[in-house]
Amino acid sequence: MTLRRLGIKTVATLVITLLFISLTPYSYQQGPTPAIISDFVIRDPNGNDVTSKPLVAGGAYTFSFSVSIGTTLNDQILMSTSLEKIGDRYWTLENNYQGVDTNTWQPGGSRVAFRALQGTPKFTLSGKVNSNITTDTLKDGKVIHFPVKILVLSISLQSTQNVLDQRILNVTDQTMIQYQNVLSSKQNLLSSSQTIPQYVTLGQGIIEQAEELARVGYVEDATKILSVIPSSGLPSPPGVESTFLYIAIGIGVVAALLAVMFLRANSNKSLIARQADDKAKKLDVLLVKANRIDKSLATEIETVKKELEELARR
């Protein structure tokens, strides 16, 4: 009796399993991809290989690549790009491939199709990144900057529109590149300098506030705040010059903090403006003393003072 019941349960389990398998839809992803992008190389207008670097907004590039097609299909391969066109065409076939009829295809369009014949056609894609893709303008006219990603190249089957392979790349701009260069320079200076720890701590405070501004898009303001840190000639302890420079950097940190507060709390604009103005006035006394000791030091303090005065006028 027990064996009979076990046999019925086993048969029932097999039936249910087979039924589930028969109802499970076949996924195209389970099989090999009929075409992939290979040998992908990016070059700038000077011919430099920039494949490993982010693209730059407004930049023109040449993308060399192959499409490896493993078997002939009764279909067409559709290539597309979101780049802007340079000249009269996007696409150029670089080898002899029977799937592309160069008499009828239209390389001037951002989308182009060709027969999916087994083989490896080689192409060149020329295009430009939109100049404004990384920026946004706020209501007050302030321009903010953010890195973005763009779809540079996609290949799909024309019949199903299923994407077979694609290349999505990072995009930056010159403002963000400048900020990153200045940031790296200041970080390297502080980490390699033999100056006293107090100065390093103050400098790191400025860097942290600059990074906070850059994260929310205020990249130009972040670069200005970093300029408070001298590019060279950090103070060696002890000395009167060092004392004055600590004060200048300390007020610079305050300026950075006020800037972040100003951006975050619109309801307290008048209070923050008064605080910024107060700090700027206190620098007048420091400037008189600094001019007697070190002209370059006085210049650094003057820079901080101007930043505070500008903040107070907003």
Rounded Cα distance, 219 and 298, in Å: 26
Please name the residue ranges forming H helices in 149-193.
Answer: 174-192
Q: Where are the domains of the chain?
A: 31-172, 176-313
Report residue 280's pLDDT band, with 50, 70 and 90 as the boundaries.
Answer: low
Poorest-pLDDT segment among 40-44, 86-90, 121-125: 86-90
Answer left, alpha or beta for residue 188, where phi above 0 means left and psi between -120 and 50 means alpha.
alpha
Q: Which of 6-10, 75-79, 254-258, 310-314 has the highest mean pLDDT?
A: 75-79
What fold characterizes domain 31-172?
Immunoglobulin-like (2.60.40)
Rounded Cα distance, 230 and 299, in Å: 10
Rounded Cα distance, 225 and 210, in Å: 6
Cβ atoms of 67 and 123 closer than 8 Å: yes
**Mean pLDDT, to the nearest integer, of 260-276?**
51
Rounded Cα distance, 248 and 11, in Å: 85
Can you give the pTM of this predicted structure?
A: 0.70
Report residue 262's pLDDT band, with 50, 70 and 90 as the boundaries.
Answer: low
- Tokens 């901080």 locate to 304
Report residue 2's pLDDT band, with 50, 70 and 90 as the boundaries.
Answer: very low
Cβ atoms of 251 and 285 closer than 8 Å: no
Cβ atoms of 199 and 230 closer than 8 Å: no
Q: Which residue has better confidence, 58 or 247?
A: 58
Task: Evaluate if residue 203 carries a pLDDT over 50.
Answer: yes
Cβ atoms of 264 and 214 closer than 8 Å: no
Task: Evaluate if residue 144 carries a pLDDT over 70.
Answer: yes
